């Protein structure tokens, strides 16, 4: 395993990637505790990394910290490797003993390393970290010793985390009751709730259906970083920068872990000089916490027919696009919350906007567009740019600057779409299963609680001989289920348009209060909802002014998105002919518009014929393409670990 980590460090040393630093510290902390001796004449090319914490600087200057505690020493013992330097210097490039390269010697073995854990968790988001922390808490309470590993594709814990976010602390109160005393990044209580209906030129104030008393306006990426620190203090091993790309199955067809993807593969599939095999992380149980539309979670759901098992409907999704601005202090009102319906979306498209006042003169503004929209000419990105020019929104932003940009899909299917979450060898938790409360516009608290419930069931199965299927039972008896059952009719109420949706939602909220005798069903899956282009007229969007609205390259720069260019595209076409034969002539090439990062472009070839070009390096990992493509021809898979956005305040 040391060969795996150190070789990864060598591979990453050529990149300006934060994941390199995180790997350095994994090794540095384990080696500092392993031996107090110091090497004589250590190479000056090896960076000295001491202590148990480090500081990195993201692209917009916001520092953040994370600690790692003896991770690599445990991994090394698992894999039978005992060689560690004792100086605190990381061998992130070739190490020579005078006659040979130790790294090169260690790297000649082509087979994948295999490391065993009691529990492997895929994804260091709210659900995955809550599960990890709860498992370790139970170990302390019961005197047990279970090894828990969390693998995260982002370069840093929190780098891929984006949300509104008005945070309900209910689950956190249960998990870490002392979070206020332990300096959690939760400091701006909700101070006001406004709800507007927008037309092109007016904003009409409506009674707010939201009750955010006791909630907080936060950055979820910052909260997740803090949770990562807490998890490691409990003894959880977290490995950012490693993408789980493969599900491992045992002889009885049960899941026995995951495999990370190989590194150093060129676009043409050949192995580059820095090629390194992935690693197998095997667990007695595996929990998938990949977030909305998790690539491995979706395979698990299909393989074991988890939706069919409980007669769940298909999932339905929305795309959220968000910016964080720094505004004039005279306009800043910490804790103020605004939600809107209506313009710029048409009356047949479900969605709305939000504007939350954070700390430090920051506001988060975003637009959420349901992906069952019909018009293939609609561009969620351009609709968001229009929103910022509304006469009720523009004055708030005037004189401000954009700090960060990002986008992510969210699942809105509610209780109708939750699959059976347990499969042979593990469970699905958080947004991979889909626990967002749509009328609350919240899913972090439910994701965290689902992770905690899964952890308790996993601990019982591993330590006490009970059954992991208790997760499903406790989930249905929890406050998650109670919340989602009451909220079940809000989202499908909008299948027939904005006005009928608002009427049914008002009935549900003010009169029936979630106790209606019926349960509405969702309409078509999002990809089937797209009309052919001839039923609609092209939408002419205004050009960005560079002050309130921006072109995609400018926004991408603010997302800190980065991928290794010379690697196979992680966005794969099941049939390479469909874009030119179906999507372009029938749907006017919708992938060039639903993607908020301009990953997909139709460009003329030498014969002046339009061909689909995939700019995979732009990808924000939002998963919209995997959901909205009319023929489900695009498969989103993980790129090399550490690639993607680098969110710090989202």
431 in catalytic set: no
Tell me the chain's radius of gyration from C-alpha atoms. Answer: 24
625 in catalytic set: yes
Residue 50 CB contacts under 8 Å (≥ 6 apart), including other chains: 28, 32, 88
Q: Is 521 exposed, middle or buried (0-12, 13-18, 19+ CB in 10 A)?
A: exposed
Q: Which one from 149, 292, 431, 619 is the annotated catalytic residue? A: 619
The C-alpha atoms of residue 628 and residue 296 are separated, in whole angstroms, by: 18
The C-alpha atoms of residue 536 and residue 529 are separated, in whole angstroms, by: 14
421, 433 Cβ separation under 8 angstroms: yes
The C-alpha atoms of residue 380 and residue 369 are separated, in whole angstroms, by: 7
539-548: b (≥16 Cβ within 10 Å) or e? eebeebeeeb
255, 423 Cβ separation under 8 angstroms: yes
Residue 442, CA atoms < 13 Å, CB-side half-sphere: 23
619 in catalytic set: yes
Q: Which residue has tokens 């899941």?
A: 255
Q: Which one from 31, 87, 444, 648 is the annotated catalytic residue? A: 444
Residue 454, CA atoms < 13 Å, CB-side half-sphere: 32
Q: Which one from 163, 295, 349, 474 is the annotated catalytic residue? A: 163
100 in catalytic set: no
Q: Which one from 134, 408, 488, 558 is the annotated catalytic residue? A: 408
CA distances from residue 627 to 75, 291, 632, 634, 645 in whole angstroms, order as listed: 37, 14, 7, 8, 20
Q: Which one from 24, 139, 292, 595 is the annotated catalytic residue? A: 595
107 in catalytic set: no
Closest by CA position to 541, among listed 552, 533, 530, 531: 552
Q: Which residue has tokens 């029936």?
A: 512
Residue 333 CB contacts under 8 Å (≥ 6 apart), including other chains: 191, 192, 357
363, 357 Cβ separation under 8 angstroms: yes
Q: Which one from 24, 139, 431, 622 is the annotated catalytic residue? A: 622
Q: Which one from 24, 139, 292, 625 is the annotated catalytic residue? A: 625
How is residue 509 annotated by DSSP? I
- Can you say whether residue 183 is alpha, beta or left, with left for phi > 0 and alpha for psi between -120 and 50 degrees? left
| Structure token digits, residue 461 | 């199965």
Residue 551, CA atoms < 13 Å, CB-side half-sphere: 3
Helix %, strand %, coil % of the chain (to 5):
30, 25, 45
For residue 611, report the phi and psi dihedrals to the nearest 5 degrees: -125, 145
Q: Which residue has tokens 């060598």?
A: 10
Please give the positions annotated as active site.
163, 408, 444, 595, 619, 622, 625
């Amino acid at each position: 395993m040391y060969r795996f980590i150190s070789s990864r460090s060598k591979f990453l040393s050529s990149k300006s990637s934060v994941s390199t630093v995180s790997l350095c510290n994994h090794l540095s902390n384990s080696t500092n505790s392993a031996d107090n001796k110091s090497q004589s004449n250590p190479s000056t090319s090896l960076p000295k990394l001491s202590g148990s914490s480090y500081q990195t600087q993201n692209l917009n200057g916001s520092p953040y910290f994370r600690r790692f505690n003896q991770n690599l020493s445990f991994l090394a013992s698992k894999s039978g490797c005992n060689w560690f330097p004792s100086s605190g210097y990381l061998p992130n490039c070739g190490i020579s003993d005078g006659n040979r390269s130790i790294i090169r010697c260690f790297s000649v073995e082509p087979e994948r390393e295999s490391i065993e854990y009691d529990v492997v968790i895929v994804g260091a988001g709210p659900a995955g970290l809550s599960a990890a922390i709860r498992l370790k808490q139970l170990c302390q309470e019961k005197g047990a010793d279970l090894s828990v590993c969390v693998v995260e594709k982002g370069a840093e814990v929190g780098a891929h985390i984006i949300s509104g976010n008005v945070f309900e602390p209910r689950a956190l109160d249960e998990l870490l009751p002392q979070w206020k005393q332990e300096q959690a990044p939760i400091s701006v209580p909700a101070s006001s709730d406004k709800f507007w209906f927008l037309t092109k030129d007016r904003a009409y104030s409506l009674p707010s259906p939201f009750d955010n008393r006791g909630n907080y306006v936060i950055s979820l990426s910052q909260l997740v970083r803090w949770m990562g620190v807490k998890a490691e203090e409990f003894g959880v091993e977290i490995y950012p920068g490693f993408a789980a790309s493969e599900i491992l199955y045992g002889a009885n067809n049960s899941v026995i872990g995951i495999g990370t993807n190989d590194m150093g593969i060129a676009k043409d599939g050949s192995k580059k000089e820095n090629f390194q095999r992935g690693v197998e992380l095997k667990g007695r149980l595996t929990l998938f916490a990949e977030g909305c539309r998790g690539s491995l979670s979706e395979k698990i759901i299909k393989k074991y027919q988890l939706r069919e098992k409980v007669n769940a409907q298909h999932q339905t999704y929305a795309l959220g696009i968000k910016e964080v601005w720094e505004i004039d202090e005279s306009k800043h009102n910490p804790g103020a919350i605004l939600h809107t319906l209506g313009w710029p979306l048409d009356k047949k498209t479900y969605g709305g906007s939000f504007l939350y006042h954070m700390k430090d003169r920051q506001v988060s503004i975003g637009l959420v567009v349901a992906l069952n929209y019909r018009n293939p000419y609609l561009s969620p990105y351009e609709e968001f740019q229009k929103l910022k020019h509304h006469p009720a929104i523009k004055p708030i932003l005037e004189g401000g600057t954009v700090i960060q940009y990002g986008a992510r899909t969210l699942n809105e299917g509610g209780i109708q779409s939750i699959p059976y979450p347990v499969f042979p060898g593990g469970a699905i938790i958080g947004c991979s299963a889909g626990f967002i409360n749509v009328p609350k516009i919240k899913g972090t608290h439910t994701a965290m609680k689902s992770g905690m419930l899964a952890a308790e069931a996993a601990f019982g199965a591993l330590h006490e001989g009970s059954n992991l299927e208790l997760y499903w039972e406790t989930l249905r008896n929890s406050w998650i289920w109670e919340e989602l059952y009451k909220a079940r009719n809000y989202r499908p109420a909008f299948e027939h348009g904005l006005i009928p949706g608002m009427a049914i939602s008002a009935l549900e909220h003010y009169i029936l209060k979630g106790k209606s005798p019926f349960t509405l069903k969702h309409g078509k899956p999002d990809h089937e909802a797209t009309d052919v282009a001839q039923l609609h007229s092209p939408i002419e969007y205004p050009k960005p002014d560079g002050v309130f609205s921006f072109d995609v390259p400018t926004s991408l720069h603010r997302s800190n998105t980065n991928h290794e260019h010379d690697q196979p595209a992680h966005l794969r076409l099941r049939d390479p002919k469909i874009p030119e034969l179906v999507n372009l002539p029938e749907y006017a090439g919708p992938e060039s518009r639903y993607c908020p990062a301009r990953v997909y472009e139709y460009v003329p070839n030498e014969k002046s014929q339009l061909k689909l070009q995939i700019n995979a390096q732009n990808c924000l990992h939002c998963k919209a393409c995997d959901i909205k493509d009319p023929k489900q021809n695009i498969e989103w898979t993980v790129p090399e670990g550490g690639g993607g956005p680098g969110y710090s305040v989202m």
